[in-house]
Amino acid sequence: MMKRLPPFSLPARTVALVLAAGALAACGGGGSNDPGAGNPDGSGAPLPAREALIARAKGLELNTPYVPPPGDVLEHQTAGYAKTLCSAVFITGLDPEVAAESVGYFTGPYAQRTRVGKPVVDRERREVRIAIPGGPTLVARQHGSQGCTTLPPGQDSVFFTPKAVRSTLPDAGTLPWPMGDVLPIEVPTGYDTGRVAQAVDAPFSLLDAYTTAFVVTYKGKIIGERYMRGITRTTPLESWSMGKSVVATLMGVLVRQGEYKLDQPAPIPEWQSAGDPRQQIRIADILHMSSGLRIKAPDDPDFDPTGTYPDHTYLYTGRVNSFNYAATRPQQWPPNTVGRYRNTDPVLASYLVRLAVEKRGEDYLAFPQRHLFDKIGIRSMVMETDPYGNFLTQGYEYMAARDWARLGNLYLQDGVWNGERILPEGFVNFVSTVAPAWAADKRPIYGGFFWLNGTGAFPALPTSAYYMLGAGGQYTIIVPSHDLVVVRMGFDKGERFAGAGLQRALTLLMEGLPRTR
């Protein structure tokens, strides 16, 4: 049995605040507690019964086969364990023993870690090796700016050439916030500083929550932040499915640049044969998590945890060409009819990003930094890939809490930064408005790769609030009515204890900040 380590003995490096409703936390990374999977969210109006969701979906289902992911389940889980341990050690800077205890539970389940050999951390090769008794040894290796990747079976390298991608911005310590990290002496006034201070402390009040970082911005300025000992404002932390909102943002950048339109059919190469029904799937349907593709995911209302290994997770751990795997799934429902939280859709959106960038002859691996992150002051992002160099930003990305606050403020500012429009007009409204297929299921909780507070999962916040969400309790919450952005990050180990602290923090912030819009 692995020993439990106290959170404040962690020899790590970064960040600050908030975890919300415990029932919501797992859904960001594909956990089984989707707030729309058949239970009331615990704080707002009840959502449809699980049976009703299943019945409606069955009535719309197409007659197509389901083919489960190939391979051994323990090998997939060990691939996920090795990758997240590699990232925790070589990107975040955690002690290996702490990382093995505390992070990466979604793709490398904690309960399965005692079934495999003790991880070997090779700092010279910058890799982690984990042996399966009677089976193969899984190797996850860092590939520079593309982070860590678990190597494919029988391979000692990946199938792409890693590229060094660094920000072109000056040192953040030389520039004022938000393009740098130098905070101004003057901050916005007219709010209760005492309540804000209490809010910043609330997520850290229970050690078992393992909160690593909490940042609060008001009117674009940082008015409070706190970090776990050993974590700093620049430490890249596991962010999980908050990365889906990054994928949405990159698609928004390409729409702004004229490469795509939201209402156009998605030009996925695998769908271009004559008569392929998937040609009816629009880019908007993909961003709305309503493409209708047939896979299994832990958030499905009818998901059987004792059944086959879910494709949703396999898209992280399969060590295959994830873009091709997602693109070759058949239709389960007509597009834009049933909303389901499934990784096929953000993976396909990432595929579209690569297609557009490479079609115009640009460097795909550098595109996010050059066309988004450099423009808004983000320096810490590490976007990891599959062995074929495809970004797995549906959940394999590491970024510091302040940088998540910067991304949240881009949305708070309607996609405009320093006078430059980064996202097209109307895009922020698109991602923060309930998706039609989810509305049809009477679940007003999902927009365009963003979650919505449509049923009051955060009771202290207005229903107009929306947020990025990742497994383990990763949140970037945007509250336009109060010009507020809240970032909370933490280790997987503390997920089920973190909700109370977040809800308390949000209540204090709403009590202490006036409405601005």
Alpha-carbon gap, residue 431 to 415, rounded angstroms: 11
Q: How many CB atoms lie within 10 A of CB 516?
A: 14
Instruction: Please give the pLDDT value at position 366.
Output: 98
With beta carbons less than 8 A apart as the criterion, state whether 404 and 242 touch: yes
Residue with tokens 């729409």: 255
> Residue 195 class from Cβ within 10 Å (0-12 exposed, 13-18 middle, 19+ buried)?
middle
Token reading at 449: 């790769």
Q: What is the distance between the terminal CA atoms of the chain, rounded to a whole angstrom?
A: 52
Tell which residue, 326, 332, 320, 343, has the closest CA to residue 269.
326
- Name the DSSP class of 26: G
Tell which residue, 459, 20, 468, has the closest CA to residue 209.
20
In the chain (517 residues long), the average pLDDT of successive 10-residue segments reads: 32 27 34 34 61 96 97 97 98 98 97 97 98 97 97 96 96 97 89 97 96 98 97 97 98 98 98 97 98 98 95 98 98 98 98 98 98 98 98 98 98 98 98 98 97 96 98 97 98 93 98 96
Q: What angle do CA 454, 457, 460 make, to 5 degrees?
A: 100
With beta carbons less than 8 A apart as the criterion, state whether 339 and 290 touch: yes
With beta carbons less than 8 A apart as the criterion, state whether 137 and 127 touch: no
What's the distance, CA 228 to chain centroid? 21
Tell which residue, 144, 21, 473, 90, has the closest CA to residue 82.
90
Report the interhelical angle of 344-359 vs 243-256 (nearest 10°).
40
What's the distance, CA 93 to chain centroid? 20
**Domain residues of the chain, as ranges?**
71-150
Alpha-carbon gap, residue 232 to 400, rounded angstroms: 8
> Residue 401 class from Cβ within 10 Å (0-12 exposed, 13-18 middle, 19+ buried)?
buried
What's the distance, CA 121 to chain centroid? 26
The neighbouring-strand residues paired with 128 are 121, 140
- Secondary structure (3-state) at 204: helix
Q: How many CB atoms lie within 10 A of CB 159?
A: 12
pTM exceeds 0.85, yes or no: yes
Instruction: Please give the pLDDT value at position 186.
Output: 82
With beta carbons less than 8 A apart as the criterion, state whether 242 and 28 touch: yes
